[in-house]
Structure 1
Amino acid sequence: MKEQNLREGSIFLGLSRLALPIMLTSFIQMAYNLVDMIWIGRIGSGAMAAVGAAGIYLWISDSLTSVARMGGQIKVAHAIGAGEEEKAKSYATAAFQLGLLIVLLYMAVLVIFHKGLIGFFRLGKAEVSRSAEAYLLITGTAGILFGTLNQIFTGICTGRGNSKLPFVVTSAGLVLNVILDPVLIFGLGPFPELGVVGAAAATAGSQGVVTLLFLVFLLKDQGFFRELAVFRKPDSAAWKEVFSLGLPAGIQNVFMSGLSLLISRIVSSFGADAIAVQRVGGQVESISWMISGGFGIALNAFVGQNFGARLMGRVQKGYRTALGLMAGWGVFCTLLLLVFPQQIFGLFLHEAELLPMGVDYLRILGLCQFFSCIEGAATGAFNGLGETKIPSGASIFFNVARVPFAMLLSSPAFSLGLNGVWWALTIASIIKGTLVTCWYSLYVRRKKLYAPAAE
């Protein structure tokens, strides 16, 4: 599968060809969780709460390993844009080494402290807690190891302009997950009924197959990956550059996932059903920000290659194109969640008493989808320029602010109850999306990064 030269040709077509597979890949990665929820929802809200509690720690894993993925993708794109193939290989090697180190340390933490980590949520029912612990042990070992490798493979491929391969292999993993979920959850043929454990095994196994497919395709078809020496002595200079660029994004994601722990703790005070609603609503809502995040990743690579080649006119045209597309997507998602919340939520949980809670979640969070989408475009452009601190700093500040704001609005003083938590998330997202988008425009003007349209 060919890599794209993003430094010439039609900006719209080049960006679209790169972005479409990334957005579809992001959607497929989200679909892993949606498929799990559709089947787990048939077991009941207790099982959904168990998966929701354990899932927070998997999110933290993704956040930690995003340091390696983000830093590797940006530096590889810059090196490719500057025509420095050997440097690109050094950065890719450093990304894999750093990612493996991070995930192995985190796996050890999950195995040793899994009972206490689940106990943090005070799920109430012993059966729900045991299911959550089992799910965390399986997905928190094999699942996150394979998931980390897949993230870094995807980032390096994207930095080189190849977004089709990640889409193809991730699609194959989803198909396998769709097949394995009902077989292992409910038991078919010779397979016993495993419930939540079956969902974990299906997800981890599917991720393993994706890793295998990456290795088969990349080692067979691309000399770039065949020449990476992951187990050689680390290149300290490449490590430093990858780490320093990826760290702000990693801190941002870790803060967001860690603060989600605190938000989930607030939500859990309203009962296990509230955790189940948060799990389902969050995954449905993520259709918006995962697609915009996927487009942001594509813009990151596009901007990175053109910035490396000093083609600033293409950088700015690429950003404006992405901003327009993502604004349209945000409006569509807002309308979808406002008009059809009952039908959407009803696909995942079937207890009638939970439906009003789910409808409230989707309608309230639906109001911030436009702002989340335009933030994704601005963040992708910032990261492609190698300026990861600005969007990360803004994200960290407003995500931290969510916690006291959620505690305040859900307190008896405001009479909003659980909905106060959802309003806190929505208001913070609206402010953050507006700020980061305006900040990018000011940054470009202050740094004088505009260039003649002839580029």
Structure 2
Amino acid sequence: MNDQTHAAGAAPQENKMGVMPVGRLLAGMAVPMMISMLVQALYNVVDSVFVSRISENAFNAVSLAFPLQSLMIAVGAGTAVGINALLSRSLGEKKQDMADRAAGTGIFLSLCSAVVFALIGIFLSWPFFMAQAKSVPEIVEMGTAYTRICLGLSVGIFCQFCFERLLQSTGRTTLAMITQLAGAITNIVLDPIFIFGLLGMPKLGVAGAAVATVLGQFVGAILAIIMNLKCNHDIHIRSSLIRPDKVAVKEIYRVGIPSIVMQSIGSIMTFGMNKILFVFTPTATAVFGAYFKIQSFIFMPIFGLNNGMVPIISYNYGAARPERVWKTVRLTIFTAVAIMFLGFLAFQTIPATLLSLFDASAEMTAIGIPALRIISISFLLAGFCIIAGSVCQAIGNPMYSMVVSVCRQLVVLLPAAWLLAQTGRLELVWWSFPIAEIASVTLSAIFLRRTVRSANARMKAAQA
């Protein structure tokens, strides 16, 4: 019997998210997720490092595939955010039946999403690359092969997202970390084998990177399913519940759709930036791709911190414990800002070293050094914005974070980049990122203040 169960006749034990000291709880919940996210960032970078050894066109093919992959991740992660928030809140409110229905419905929605993206990968990959790099057929060919594999076999990543979040929602972040580590390590080990044809395997090039990625996702998903069935006793996963429940679907997507939209907007922004940069030189898009890989070392720990924070504040919000909710929020924001400052320092002091990871040419280095230094100025504000948006999502105001994301990336960033590109000076385009972050932090502060006020009023009423 684990710490979440109780003997017959005894008083039920409170979930640790309601009783453990907040600082120790946040560390215990977030640190495993931050470590696993760092490993995720590592294998994303390793993937690109190996591909960059093939050619700059090969690296560009993987970089230009990012918007489609990002869209897939947006749907998987956004749905998982909705599952996480509903399940944690239901447990905090002692609604076991709703928690079980949230889990079953979440699994069903994830499987449906995998089918949709398999069709997108099969039929839309080629026209997607033709729209970006028609003048370089090699990029189109390699990119199409890469995305057809990654999206066509996306059931692994969707199941991984779903079942990992079921573990996180009940406080078992260490188990979630183990599943992510297993998938990431599998990917890292298999990358060179499939890309370069080692150990008797065929040399698959860019397609080999996709095969290694998909196999890593399947390993993580299978392990996450086993962990839930064997170790997660706070929820009951039954085949009869793996179906759409109207109430659960509505609640999952009430939180999840804004998250999906926010991350999907990132796909649109990346696609637009690639189009703007490709006009200058294909090397500029390679620099942008390298930036996204490198910055994941900074942002992934923040997302891991987020993943640790959301179930804590959702649970305590459901249990009407405002002091625990807001202490968690303050600690998370402080930690996020500190991490982003360290990232800013790294991008300012060693940009050439970071670019050398991708076998950067002299032209790529010359373009990339000012790019990394300018874009990283936005890091100083981004930590607060990310956490503020997640707080709004977790306690009932998901539209706020969606509005911030739309304004940052579509209303400010892309138009600013396009206008600056009209000067003919590539280095000015990178300033669109700090400009957009100023707009983001302003809106985030306003919306977080409103969320705090309304949440306090609801929790006060629940206590009465």
Q: Tell me the TM-score normalised to structure 1 length.
A: 0.93
1:126 is displaced (CA, Å) by 1.6
Residues 6-58 of structure 1: per-residue CA shift (max 9 Å, x gap): 11121111011101111122222222210111111111211100111122201
Task: Specify the alignment match of 1:426 in structure 2.
Answer: 434
Residue 133 of structure 2 aligns to a residue whose secondary structure is: coil
Indicate if the aligned counterparts of 2:105 and 2:244 stay in contact, CA closer than 8 A: yes
1:285-434 → structure 2 map (5 Å cutoff): 285-401=295-411, 402-412=413-423, 415-417=424-426, 419-434=427-442
Indicate if the aligned counterparts of 2:397 and 2:451 stay in contact, CA closer than 8 A: no
1:155 aligns with 2:152: no
Residue 308 of structure 2 aligns to a residue whose secondary structure is: helix
Indicate if the aligned counterparts of 1:299 and 1:384 stay in contact, CA closer than 8 A: no
**Whole-Å Cα distance in 1 between the matches of residues 243 and 301 of structure 2?**
37
Task: Specify the alignment match of 1:66 in structure 2.
Answer: 77
Task: Specify the alignment match of 2:103 in structure 1.
Answer: 92
1:333 is displaced (CA, Å) by 1.0
Residues 269-313 of structure 1: per-residue CA shift (max 9 Å, x gap): 223222211111111122222222221222211110000100011
Residues 380-437 of structure 1: per-residue CA shift (max 9 Å, x gap): 222221221111111112211222111001112xx432x3332112210232034313
**Whole-Å Cα distance in 2 between the matches of residues 443 and 137 of structure 1?**
41
Residues 75-116 of structure 1: per-residue CA shift (max 9 Å, x gap): 001011112222111011111212221231122122112210
Task: Specify the alignment match of 1:222 in structure 2.
Answer: 232
Percent identity between matched residues is 23
**Whole-Å Cα distance in 2 between the matches of residues 230 and 108 of structure 1?**
27
Task: Specify the alignment match of 1:237 in structure 2.
Answer: 247
1:2 is displaced (CA, Å) by 6.9
Task: Specify the alignment match of 1:5 in structure 2.
Answer: 16
423-432 vs 299-308, which deviates more?
Answer: 423-432
**Whole-Å Cα distance in 2 between the matches of residues 15 and 293 of structure 1?**
13
1:66 is displaced (CA, Å) by 3.1
Indicate if the aligned counterparts of 2:133 and 2:139 stay in contact, CA closer than 8 A: no
**Whole-Å Cα distance in 2 between the matches of residues 426 and 96 of structure 1?**
38
Task: Specify the alignment match of 2:147 in structure 1.
Answer: 136
**Whole-Å Cα distance in 2 between the matches of residues 121 and 273 of structure 1?**
14
Indicate if the aligned counterparts of 2:29 and 2:171 stay in contact, CA closer than 8 A: yes
Indicate if the aligned counterparts of 2:168 and 2:311 stay in contact, CA closer than 8 A: yes
**Whole-Å Cα distance in 2 between the matches of residues 370 and 161 of structure 1?**
30
TM-aligned CA distance change 1:228 to 1:265, over 3 Å: farther
Indicate if the aligned counterparts of 2:82 and 2:253 stay in contact, CA closer than 8 A: yes
**Whole-Å Cα distance in 2 between the matches of residues 324 and 168 of structure 1?**
26
Q: Which amino acid aligns with 2:431?
A: W
TM-aligned CA distance change 1:56 to 1:16, over 3 Å: same
Residue 7 of structure 1 aligns to a residue whose secondary structure is: helix
**Whole-Å Cα distance in 2 between the matches of residues 198 and 227 of structure 1?**
35
Task: Specify the alignment match of 1:246 in structure 2.
Answer: 256
1:224 is displaced (CA, Å) by 5.0
**Whole-Å Cα distance in 2 between the matches of residues 217 and 281 of structure 1?**
35
Q: Which amino acid aligns with 1:297?
A: N
Task: Specify the alignment match of 2:290 in structure 1.
Answer: 280
Residue 18 of structure 2 aligns to a residue whose secondary structure is: coil
Decide which of 21, 26, 30 is 1:19's aligned counterpart: 30
Q: Which amino acid aligns with 2:272?
A: L
Aligned length: 449
Task: Specify the alignment match of 2:7 in structure 1.
Answer: none
Task: Specify the alignment match of 2:59 in structure 1.
Answer: 48
1:201 aligns with 2:211: yes
1:438 is displaced (CA, Å) by 4.3
**Whole-Å Cα distance in 2 between the matches of residues 451 and 105 of structure 1?**
39
Q: Which amino acid aligns with 1:5?
A: K
**Whole-Å Cα distance in 1 between the matches of residues 134 and 235 of structure 2?**
45
Task: Specify the alignment match of 2:125 in structure 1.
Answer: 114
Indicate if the aligned counterparts of 1:181 and 1:199 stay in contact, CA closer than 8 A: yes
Decide which of 82, 85, 89 is 1:78's aligned counterpart: 89
**Whole-Å Cα distance in 1 between the matches of residues 311 and 305 of structure 2?**
10
330-339 vs 121-130, which deviates more?
Answer: 121-130
Unaligned runs of 5+ in 2: 5-14
TM-aligned CA distance change 1:149 to 1:421, over 3 Å: farther
Indicate if the aligned counterparts of 1:334 and 1:367 stay in contact, CA closer than 8 A: yes
